[in-house]
């Protein structure tokens, strides 16, 4: 078990965003996190990544507790993320965006030694030609790919993907799913993935955690989840 959440609760003022969420992610798996809008998916992500602190509960990564650690420390422990609404470093070039992550992973190595690796990552996501381009000039899809390359440059063992397929067309979705699979198969990166595109999840995920109104509804392989009446009810109502 790579990541485990124990009774995680989060309250924002009067809103109970998460209540006593127990979940886990197996090493080497692609685990999807789904649920209707407002179910608490991104809140859970933010807690795992250290962007916010839970009101109570624990997160455990590789057997060590990481609850409440700052985001940069959690990144150094081996968890990287992308953002639902893209956040590239706008006035920096694509190459520099990736290099920021690389130099913070390897603070003692000179930039020149890290540059080939960074260019390689850009090539992997298909942005090799845009290496010298400032990130603000990219379109949304390219920005998402850049965020993926940047996250990979931190050399994570667990990658948190937050709706990376939004805005992609069918062809691009197929390519992206293939790419995410390759990350797991070749680089051995475990993936926890929030996604609304059900087809992609059916295709790629080993296991699906369903959140609804801040609680875990079920956690099972995708085939079982889509036929679960509770899940259908959560999405479509009574």
The residues of the shown chain that bind other proteins, judged by CB under 8 A, are: 49-51, 70-72, 75-76, 80-81, 83, 87-92, 96, 99-101, 103-105, 107, 110-111, 150-151, 153-154
CB of 22 to other proteins, least distance (A): 25
* Closer CB to other proteins, 67 or 154, in the complex: 154
In whole angstroms, give the CA distance from residue 153 to residue 109. Answer: 14
* Closer CB to other proteins, 110 or 237, in the complex: 110
* Closer CB to other proteins, 71 or 226, in the complex: 71
Q: Which residue has the tokens 């700052």?
A: 70
DSSP-H helix ranges across 29-165:
41-49, 71-77, 94-105, 111-124, 140-153
Q: Is-contact 40 211, C-beta < 8 A?
A: yes
CB of 148 to other proteins, least distance (A): 12
In whole angstroms, give the CA distance from residue 231 to residue 34. Answer: 10
CB of 139 to other proteins, least distance (A): 18
- CA 219, 224, 225, 230 dihedral sign is negative
CB of 156 to other proteins, least distance (A): 10
CB of 198 to other proteins, least distance (A): 27
* Closer CB to other proteins, 157 or 207, in the complex: 157
**CA dist 226 → 35, 92, 176, 202, 222 (Å):** 12, 42, 22, 9, 6
Secondary structure (3-state) at 88: coil
CB of 197 to other proteins, least distance (A): 23
* Closer CB to other proteins, 75 or 177, in the complex: 75
H or E, element range at 3 = strand 3-12
In whole angstroms, give the CA distance from residue 123 to residue 11. Answer: 41
* Closer CB to other proteins, 53 or 223, in the complex: 53
């Amino acid at each position: 078990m790579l990541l485990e959440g124990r009774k995680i609760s989060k309250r924002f003022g009067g809103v109970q965003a998460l209540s006593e969420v127990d979940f886990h992610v197996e090493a080497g798996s692609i685990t999807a996190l789904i649920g209707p809008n407002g179910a608490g998916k991104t809140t859970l992500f933010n807690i795992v990544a250290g962007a916010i602190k839970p009101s109570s509960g624990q997160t455990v990564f590789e057997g060590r507790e990481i609850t409440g650690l700052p985001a940069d420390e959690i990144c150094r422990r081996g968890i990287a993320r992308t953002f639902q609404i893209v956040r590239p470093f706008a006035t920096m070039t694509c190459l520099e965006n990736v290099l920021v992550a690389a130099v913070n992973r390897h603070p003692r190595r000179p930039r020149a030694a890290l540059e080939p690796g960074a260019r390689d990552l850009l090539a992997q996501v298909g942005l090799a030609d845009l290496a010298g381009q400032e990130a603000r000039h990219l379109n949304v899809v390219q920005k998402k790919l850049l965020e993926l390359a940047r996250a990979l440059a931190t050399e994570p063992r667990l990658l948190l993907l937050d709706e990376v397929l939004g805005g992609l067309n069918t062809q691009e979705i197929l390519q992206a799913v293939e790419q995410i699979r390759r990350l797991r198969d070749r680089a051995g990166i475990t993936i926890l993935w929030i996604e609304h595109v059900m087809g992609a999840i059916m295709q790629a995920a080993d296991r699906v955690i369903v959140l609804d109104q801040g609680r875990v509804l079920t956690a099972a392989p995708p085939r079982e989840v889509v036929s679960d009446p509770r899940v259908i009810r959560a999405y479509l109502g009574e």
